[in-house]
Structures are given as C-alpha cells and as structure tokens.
Amino acid sequence: MRKLALGFGLLGALWLGNAVAAASGDGAVLQGGVNPGYHDKPEWFKNSFMDLAEDVAEAHAAGKRVLLYFYQDGCPYCKKLLDDNFGNPAIAAKTQRLYDVIAINLWGDREVTSVDGATLSEKAFAEQLKVMYTPTLLFLDETGKPVLRLNGYYAPERFELALDYAARREKDGLSFRDYVARVGVSNTAAVLQASPLFLQPPHVLARNRMAAQRPLLVLFEQAGCADCAELHRDILARPEMKELLQRFDAVQLDMWSDVKLVKPDGRRATAAEWARQLNIHYTPSLVFFDEQGREVFRTEAYLRTFHVQSVMEYIASGAYRRQPNLQRYIQERADLLREQGVVVDLMD
C-alpha cells in the first residue's frame, strides 16, 4: 500500500515486532519489493473514459461484465494480483473473456461518472464506496449492480472462484460463500487446532455498556485453510501479538461448526449460523465489534503481519472513531514513524 507505516501502543510505544527495524537518518517504508511508483497494469485492461454506465452497456453487448479494480501505487498486494493472478496465462485469459477490467486509483483525480450519473473524482468515488484496502475488486452485472466485492487480495485458486461466481447469470440467489462451499473444498467434520491466545468456550459474547471493557475480535477459520495456518504459524506466533491480543476479548471459531454460542447482541446461534448471517466467505476473517456489540470493522482477504497488526491497533486504540478511512490512519502513522527514522517492511 502507498506510503504505509505502522505504530502501535500508546504515547509513542511501537508494537512493530519483526516487521520494523530501526534506521539511522530518515525513515523509510519497504514496499515488499515494490517500487513506490509501481503499477504496471496489463495492456488488456480497458482504456475507459470512466463513464461506468457506458462501460457496463459496452461490456454487456460483448457478453461480458465490468470489473472495477481499485489500486494504489506501491501496493504490494496489488503487485501480487498483477503478477501471481493476472500474470497467470489461464487466469488472464478467463478474465479477458468474462470481464472488461477498469482500474481506478484510490487517490486519483480523474473524473468518474457512476452508473447513476453522478460525477466525482476517483478518490471521492472510492471514498463513497468505503474502499479500505487495495486491491478492492467490485464486480458489476449487466445493469451495473454489484454482484461481488473482494476487499483485498485473493490467491489465484480463490480468485478464480470469484471470477466464475461473479460471471454467473443464474437467478438462484446463491451467495458467494455457498458457491465456494459447493464447488470448493470445506471439511465440516474437521476440528481446528485451538490457540491458547483466544478465549476458550463456552462463548457468551453478549456485550453491554457496563460489562464489556474491551472490543471483541472474532477470528473465523476453517480446517484445511492454508492462510489460516500461516496466520497461526507466523503472524500470531510473534511475541508482540500476545500483548496486542490482550487488548481484545478474542475468540476463534470454525465457520462451519455447530458449536453453540451467544452473539454480541445476546441472541443464540451456532458458529456456522452466525458466519452465514455475517456472510463470512473468506478464511481467516477477523471481525471486530465495539463494546456495545456493533460490528465496526473486518478483514476478509490475505494480509501479512504489518497489516494485521495495523488493523488491530486501529480498532484497539479507538482510532476508527475519529478516522473512518483506514488508509489515511496508516498514513498518519507513517509520517510519525518516518520522523523517528523507522523502516517498515510491508510484506514481512
């Protein structure tokens, strides 16, 4: 992500762990091997005049749909999407066959005319859509209605499922999570390896103003999930994570489990029922609730240590209340760390 850095803790204490090394002189942000100005889009992306209703109509006439791709320069996850996904000939060919892809700069000033006819800048359009991550991918149907949104990077196998789902013309109302469960692999009988970092069952998560002193973090996983394994093996295993997690009531759930619990609103459900109600379709997903039991934020795509910790600090510190844009919050922290001569590796 562009110009990102991370600061953790109160009054200048930094929970940077292995992602940060002290530097002499001015601080720097390591883009995970990405040139800060890098954004070499494929030549087959549509050269749009940014009139989205017109783009939707042209795509429909060609038997395609529109895919809006929100990016920012220096974003390492955007680079992974371009290199690992669109750099795969089979995925590139499928994407070109099914979609007209239009790139939108998260911080850009080009004028965009939305499907409903409103004209605004790229950055205002992204803000209106509450784009918090790059890449964010918004799949539109032939009427310009969103049929799927991916908030962050998906590895090639999962990304192909998204391409297939968003191109479907069926009117069966099947959600993406149920489509993935139908055509993908999910083992409902397997049991997750419980982590001692999380509260143990029974899970009574009802919140109220008097009792709940900390925000709630719910980690949804599933058995056989490689990204979940990486989260536990690497990110959560870092010493600084234990203390950071202590700033939350943190719970680990299998999104397909029939384990019973009490939700933050006081209602009873199984973990699987709650995951369906929350439309959890990616694992691991981190869902955050405030002290009154309202969902305030979530992550639902692949993230490395820097960004997992960034989001957790964003919620634990209460910064989300004053700054609704995660990217702007992280940029504020970047300015502070650069002044302190800190170097951050975004993809550590």
Instruction: Name residue 246's beta-bridge partners.
Output: none
Please check whether residues 151 and 66 belong to one and the same domain.
yes
Same domain, 140 and 23: no
Show Cβ contacts of residue 231 under 8 Å, excluding neighbours closer than 6 positions.
284, 308
167 and 282 fall within a common domain: no
C-beta of residue 170 within 8 angstroms of C-beta of residue 272: no
- pLDDT of residue 188 exceeding 90: no
Containing 268, the helix (H) or strand (E) segment is strand 268-270
| Res 9: pLDDT | 33
Per-residue pLDDT tens digits for 249-271: 999 999 999 999 999 999 999 99
- Is residue 138 included in any domain, yes or no? yes
Q: State which of 183, 200, 234 marks the end of a domain.
A: 183
Please check whether residue 65 is in contact with residue 139, taking contact to mean a CB–CB distance below 8 angstroms.
yes
Could you tell me if 287 and 201 lie in one domain? yes
Sign for the CA dihedral angle at 221, 227, 231, 234 comes to positive
pLDDT of amino acid 27:
52
How high does pLDDT run on average in the chain? Answer: 86
**Res. 190: pLDDT tops 80:** no
Q: Which segments of 81-134 does DSSP mark as H helices, in order? A: 89-98, 122-128
Query: What are 16-65's pLDDT values in tens digits?
Result: 333 333 333 445 556 666 666 666 899 999 999 999 999 999 999 999 99
| pLDDT of residue 4 exceeding 60 | no
The reply to whether 150 and 245 lie within a common domain is: no
pLDDT category at 335 given cuts 50, 70, 90 is: confident
Do 159 and 215 lie in one domain? The reply is: no
Same structural domain, 329 and 210: yes
Residue 221 confidence (pLDDT) above 80: yes
83 secondary structure, DSSP code = I
Structure token pair of residue 229: 């394994």
Between β-strands 99-105 and 146-151, what pairing exists: parallel, antiparallel or unpaired? unpaired
- Pair (341, 194) in one structural domain: yes
The pLDDT assigned to 208 comes to 74
Same domain, 157 and 223: no
pLDDT (0 to 100) of residue 212: 65
In the prediction, which pLDDT does 29 show? 56
Domain range holding 102?
A: 52-183
Cα separation, 100 vs 206, whole angstroms: 45
How many other CB atoms sit within 10 Å of the CB of residue 6?
A: 26
CA-CA distance, 342 to 296, in Å (whole number)? 30
Question: Of 280 and 292, which is predicted with more confidence?
Answer: 280
Query: For residue range 294-318, what is the model confidence (pLDDT) as tens digits?
Result: 999 999 999 999 899 999 999 999 9
Q: How many Å apart are CA 114 and CA 135, to the nearest integer?
A: 19
The predicted pLDDT at position 25 comes to 42
What is the predicted pLDDT for the residue at 236? 94
Give the pLDDT score at 55: 98
Examine the domain organization and report whether 139 and 167 are in the same domain. yes
Q: Are residues 236 and 336 in the same domain?
A: yes
Confidence label for 215 from pLDDT (cuts 50, 70 and 90): very high
pLDDT reading at 187 higher than 60? no
Tell me: pLDDT of 339 over 50: yes
Count of Cβ atoms closer than 10 Å to residue 160 Cβ:
17
pLDDT-derived band at 185 (thresholds 50, 70, 90) equals low
Whole-prediction pTM value?
Answer: 0.87
Per the listing, tokens 């200048």 go with: 12
More confident: 2 or 256: 256
How many folded domains does the chain comprise?
2
Q: Which CATH number belongs to the domain containing residue 156 in this structure? A: 3.40.30.10
Strand, helix or coil at 3? coil
For position 274, what pLDDT does the model report?
98
Do 221 and 255 contact (CB within 8 A), yes or no? yes
Read off the pLDDT band of 148 (50, 70, 90).
very high
pLDDT at res. 32: 65
Please report, rounded to a whole number, the percentage of residues in the chain having pLDDT higher than 70. 85
CA 69 – CA 101 distance, rounded (Å)? 7
* Burial (CB count within 10 angstroms: exposed 0-12, middle 13-18, buried 19+), residue 84: middle
